[in-house]
Each structure stands twice: as C-alpha cells, then as structure tokens.
Chains A and B, each alone.
Chain A
Amino acid sequence: EVQLLESGGGLVQPGGSLRLSCAASGFTFNNYAMSWVRQAPGKGLEWVSSISANGYSTYYTDSVQGHFTISRDNSKNMLYLQMSSLRVEDTAVYYCAKDWGDLNNWFGPWGQGTLVTVSS
C-alpha cells in the first residue's frame, strides 16, 4: 500500500524558514515524480512544485519561485520542500502527492498534509 507521510509543518514568523518532509513507502520511489500541492484554509487547491523521478528537473509556481526549493533523496525515499522568506499568504496545508508516472502530472495518492502557519 502506498503511504505518504508529511512532517515539518508548524508556526513560523513572516520571513522565516521551514523544511517540509514527506516519507514515502509502498512503491518504487525513484520511478515516480513527486509534487507538493497546498490548500489555504477554506480555499481550493494550488499546485506548488514538482520534481522528476531522478530529481534533475524541478518546476515551481511563480509565487514560490526563488524562495521554495523542492528536492528528493531516492536512497531514503524522501521528498522535501525547503521554504524560505515565508509570507502570510504561504499559510496552508501542504500535501505531498505521488505522480502517476514521471511527470505525467496527475496525482494519486496524496498524503494527509502538514499545516504551515505564517504569522507574527
């Protein structure tokens, strides 16, 4: 069974940094692209970033380009999102999602999410 377990969320002040992690199991991790998708409280879904199966290709939504970095460690079956210069509008539940292949770009399954709150 595929399992994705996010961690690392919490309360951070504007301008601060946080690193999210996603532990993957139940599938051959290095065969699949992975993504982060977020959901602000009471709002819809927003794609944040994707990384190819081998980690060589990364993609970002414009609003996080330059202050978020996606990475993966295929030896540990781990996905990461390094977030810096955090803004109030980055407050959201962040979901880790498995790609259907290598950048097919539809997602399933998803983790349960980790809440990031940016507030002073």
Chain B
Amino acid sequence: EIVLTQSPGTLSLSPGERATLSCRASQSVRNTYLAWYQQKPGQAPRLLIYGVSSRATGIPDRFSGSGSGTDFTLTISRLEPEDFAVYYCQQHSSWPLTFGGGTKVEIK
C-alpha cells in the first residue's frame, strides 16, 4: 500500500499569498498518477488536479500541480477567499487507492 503524507497539517495564510502544499509517497507513484482534491466544510470533495499536473474542467489556473516519484506539490499562486479549505492528495497508481491525511489552508 502506498502511504501518502501531507504537510503541513495546517497552513495559515492571507488572501493574495502563495500556498505550497506537499504530498510525499512511501513509494514511487508510477506514471505520475497523483490527484488533488479540495473540500470545504459540509461539502463533497472537488477534483482539482489529476495526473500530477492536469487541471480538471473549470479549475482556475492559479492552481497547479507538480512533482514526480515520491514528492508532489500543489501550488495556489494567489489565494482567493474561496480557496480556504482542506486539500487532499490521492494516488491512482495502484490498489488500494489511498489519500493523504489532508492540509487545511486557513485564513491568517
């Protein structure tokens, strides 16, 4: 099983700032099969990024993904008020599919 560790657990930032979220895998994620989701309180998760760096339909270009092997990053270039939420990474490379524990981006 691929274990995904996200850091930091909480990121306190102001609107307009850059957010950098990390996701580290316990073993290499083949074929760059890594996705990112956003979840707001009381809502279902929303797909942001798949295949490490491909944005899902309708996702603004301030969201970008990068990385390879075992180290991956989600970057939000300039935080908008609606971006304060919890973010999860997920590997879709091998069974069982696994999620990271999440990073909460909160308003400073």
**Which of A's residues lie within 8 Å of B, judged by CB?**
35, 37, 44-47, 50, 59-62, 95, 100, 104-113
Contact = CB atoms under 8 A, between A and B. Distances in A.
B47 A108 contact: yes
A113 B45 CA distance: 10
A4 B89 CA distance: 22
B44 A110 contact: yes
A47 B44 contact: no
A44 B95 contact: no
B45 A110 contact: yes
B47 A106 contact: yes
Interface residues of B, number: 23
25 contacts: A37-B45, A44-B100, A44-B101, A45-B45, A45-B102, A46-B99, A47-B99, A60-B96, A95-B45, A104-B50, A105-B33, A105-B92, A105-B97, A106-B47, A106-B90, A107-B37, A107-B47, A107-B90, A108-B46, A109-B44, A110-B44, A110-B45, A110-B46, A112-B44, A113-B44
B20 interface: no
A100 B46 contact: no
Contacts of B33: 105-106
A58 to B, nearest CB: 11
Contact of B46 (A60, A109, A111): A109
Nearest to B47: A108
